[in-house]
Structure 1
């Protein structure tokens, strides 16, 4: 199993690398650390342009530094790619390596200093065919992930996310928490019973699973408040969430609820494409 890491020689790239290492340690995955340089173009050049050889050499030094930061127990390779679009180059790398995951850091500013989806991440969330992991600003953890949470809604696709969460938690040997978010005027008991019913049905059909997931219903005046009201096992937790029902099959699309969750979330989020196959769940 391979993860493609969007690397840049800055804090954002380091944070993406940190999460990749933490995830790889639970899956024994290999890292493909990719740094993308823009293709040379007379229309996009900065004058006087730097010699291509110097840019290449500097990029190779950055990649060597990235490899030096990867612990010896995590297999990793680094490569330099060129492309008109960073997102397109990363997607091409993911397809080439049959990657199970794309990992990218957040932009350097945002609500609560946690997440802001930059242009490359936004493009990935609209075009990638594999799960995309978004890393919050300041993420320093490289130790193995300790808990997985999954946001389970009531709309189409929720059962699919539940199945993928069960598969991933089982494969990683992680405790699993299932989260339902409600406005303050929502009926918490009904929401819990609905989610518990879905979980029971899934477990009954999968006797091979050795899991005892926790079911949690969070409430607040807003999605952001509901997220803040939850306890998060930092720095070792991740949140799985499905794509919007508007996404084409086997594609990503971050819906409005997920975007609001992202703005308040203190832990990394993995967005799953619609129709994603559990055999390659990250």
Structure 2
């Protein structure tokens, strides 16, 4: 069965970033890239009587933009181009992912963010708090990374909360599909209450992080190898900044424990990671059990 990836495409820099990341993931995993432009449902006359001239113009423009996107990807990525209608861009992408049986939705960060960083816009925010399909967020400037680079490493951010198993499973699966090395990371941030001994708290937190990594290593499927590292800092952002990151790397994180089963909900740790993370992040839905 062919793996399918949905890219939410828009004719701007954010759309180009999503397209580039989707292209790299598809090329590395030999997946079919479903490039989707979502138009407002009003353009199809579902709410008001259609203006056929406007509808034709909008569809022609969208087809032109999709053709440009296809040319940008080149011949190295198997692709299909689609126009869909929906009440919202996020709703249309989730519906497309269901339609195609896609394993991932890729969107770009909001415009105006720092180069190499992700700034969550309204579309990504909707997806990262409601989708039942994993969502990848392409940082600003991802379009500058060549598709031919592929995926150079998969990093799974592991923990002990509900959903950690899903992160590990998807990290292993994606590393295999993309032929990329696997790294497991446990984050430690020392945000101390007043009066608490800093050295003692640091030792306890690091020991806990080591235990988390050891449990993750024991849970790896037979024959799977992975490096592991504890990242520490006074804050999550500092812990992320202290890590080494490769061009072409992808990070996988789990949903908050507040997420309903089989749905995404971007938690506070992942949100803090995004402020400093220089590589794409994939958020996976909370497990059903």
- Normalization by structure 2: what TM-score? 0.86
Alignment of 1:63-102 (within 5 A): 63-102=66-105
- Aligned residues of 2:7 and 2:34 also touching (Cα < 8 A): yes
Do the aligned partners of residues 72 and 222 (structure 1) sit closer, same or farther apart at CA in structure 2, a change above 3 Å counting? same
Matched residue, 2:215: 198
How far the C-alpha of 1:38 sits from its partner, in A, is 1.3
- 1:30-62 CA-to-partner distances (Å, cap 9, x unmatched) read 0111111112279x99xxx98222222111111
8 Å CA contact retained: 1:63, 1:78: yes
Change (3 A) 1:55 1:189: closer
Give the aligned partner of residue 30 of structure 1. 32
Q: Distance in 2 between matches of 1:88 and 1:256?
A: 24
C-alpha spacing 1:28/1:54, structure 2 compared with 1 (3 Å): same
Residue 113 of structure 1 and its aligned partner are, at CA, apart by 6.3
Aligned mates of 2:65, 2:87 — CA distance in 1 = 20
RMSD across aligned C-alpha pairs, in angstroms?
2.4
Instruction: Say which of 253, 270, 273 aligns to 2:285.
Output: 273
Instruction: Give the Cα separation in 2 of the matches to 1:61 and 1:112.
Output: 28
Equivalent residue, structure 2, for 1:4: 6
Report the equivalent of 2:265. 253
Question: Corresponding residue for 2:249?
Answer: 237
Q: Distance in 2 between matches of 1:126 and 1:81?
A: 22
CA deviation vs aligned residue, 1:103-136 (integer Å, no higher than 9, x gap): 0000012367611111111111122111100000
Residue in structure 2 matched with residue 155 of structure 1 by the alignment: 161
Determine if the alignment matches structure 1 residue 144 to structure 2 residue 150: yes
SS at structure 2 position matched to 1:180: strand
* Residue 169 (1) aligns with residue 169 (2): no
* CA apart distance, 1:210: 3.5
Aligned residue pairs, count: 269
Q: Distance in 2 between matches of 1:122 and 1:32?
A: 21
1:180–1:191 Cα contact (<8 Å) kept: no
Supply the distance in 2 between the matched residues of 1:71 and 1:276 (Cα, whole angstroms). Answer: 39
What runs of 5+ residues in structure 1 fail to find an aligned partner?
Answer: 278-282
Shift of 1:169: 1.7
Give 1:156 shift. 2.4
Normalising by the residue count of structure 1, what TM-score does the alignment of the two structures yield? Answer: 0.88
Q: What 5-or-longer segments of structure 2 have no aligned partner? A: 191-200
Q: Matches of 1:230 and 1:65 in 2, distance apart? A: 37
